[in-house]
Amino acid sequence: MRSGVSLETSTLATDIESISQSAGRLLSLDIFRGITIAAMILVNDPGDGASSYWPLRHATWNGWTPTDLVFPFFLFIVGVAMAFSFSSRLRRGANRVELLKHVCVRGMALFAMGMFLNGFPNHYHLDHWRIYGVLQRIAICYVITAVLELWAGWRTHLAVAVACMAAYWLLMRYVPVPGFGVPMHDIPLLDPDRNLVAWLDRKLLMGHLYEGTRDPEGLLSTIPALATCLAGLLTGKWLKSAKTPENKAIGMAAVGLAAIALGRTLDLWFPINKKLWTSSYVIFTAGLALVGLAVCYWIADVKRHHGSWTKPILVFGKNAIAAYFFSEALAGVLHALHVARAGAPISLQGYLYFRLFAPFGSPANASLAYALVFVGLCWAVMAVLYRRGIFLKF
């Protein structure tokens, strides 16, 4: 998930990273976000991706692995955060038009950051500069979800989420793919290259796609990704309700388990697929996110079991976008720089892996060790900011 920045230490609290309640910050969301961003960096930066343990690799096509949960979890968190931050700003006197301007600026900044990372450090060639990406998808879903939050209620949010998933299924199942035919009649459903998402991406941006003939953050698959963000927004509204904390946790867990079961059932007709962000994938991953957040909420905000164990997690949780940006930039540098090894040039990343990690364990263990050290390095940089009370707001 490879996908300038102004520094503010106390103002412009970001809708993605700053959650306030009248009783204080929702600690469980910071914990859940910290765990998610740590996992995102871990799976993005193996020593040798081909040798990684299967939970640390994306599913090849249909199906899922734990790695395939990371991105939808973060997009879900964006929606949860929005429910708190927007209501807080409105209570402080901001109006909807002001918030919309702020949202648009932030969305453009996130999109630009993603574009920057796609070319960093030396691949800014207009003929094949990748347009899509992780931060770009976050930016688009964030802006659209924000508009719905500012001018619509929860019933509309739910209706739009359901409509996105239903419409996407209808498009992928019944609309003929030009040049190939009708899914399940002329071609298999969700064929890797002969599907509507891949066809449209090639039609619009051939030469700018992550996988050559398709892109895992493609244009049409942003429709169901919006439903993931809206699921988070609805969860945030539930957490802001007048229910008791115990009932909130139980409610999230119950709905989450039901969504997991529903997603697995729908997988029989519309397979779970991260690269196409299928509707079954939306429901399944939203269910797992609900259960994960419910556990964090029960521990940290209901039972208040927090203290020194939470601080390492909060280093990432309170600077999540900064941590992701730094990790991607660092990885870009390590892959771009080359050194000589056995008389042939090799990337600095490859040199460090083969020199320091590969000789001391199996390929899978060496790859994991490299990834853990990489996460630790990113954490150390974020820890310096955390100790100084510096949080990067975008």
In a domain, 325, yes or no: no
Helix axis angle for 245-266 and 279-297, nearest 10°, is 160
Would you say residue 68 lies in a domain?
yes
How many domains does the chain contain in total?
1
Q: How far is CA 289 from CA 56, 113, 255, 257, in A?
A: 18, 26, 11, 10
Q: Are 110 and 89 in contact (CB under 8 A)?
A: no
Interatomic CA distance for residues 91 and 190, integer angstroms: 46
Q: What are phi and psi of 21, to 5 degrees?
A: -125, 165
Give the pLDDT of residue 7: 36
Tell whether 56 is covered by a domain: yes
Beta strands in 82-126 (DSSP E): none
Q: How far apart are CA 232 and CA 82, in angstroms?
A: 9
Parts of the chain with a pLDDT under 70? 1-25, 393-394
For residues 8 and 385, the answer to whether their CB atoms sit within 8 Å is no
- Is 392 inside any structural domain? no
What is the tens place of the pLDDT at every residue in 251-296?
A: 999 999 999 999 999 999 999 999 999 999 999 999 999 999 999 9
State the pLDDT at residue 9.
33
Residue 30 lies in a domain: no
User: For the whole model, what pTM was predicted?
Assistant: 0.91
Written as six digits, the tokens of 37 are: 């961003």
Query: Does any domain span residue 89?
Result: yes
388 within a domain of the structure (yes/no) = no
- The answer to whether 45 and 327 are in contact (CB under 8 A) is yes
What is the rounded distance in angstroms from the CA atom of residue 243 to the CA atom of residue 290?
A: 17
pLDDT of 394 reads 57
Asked, for residue 124, whether it belongs to a domain, the answer is yes
* Boundaries of domain holding 187: 45-305
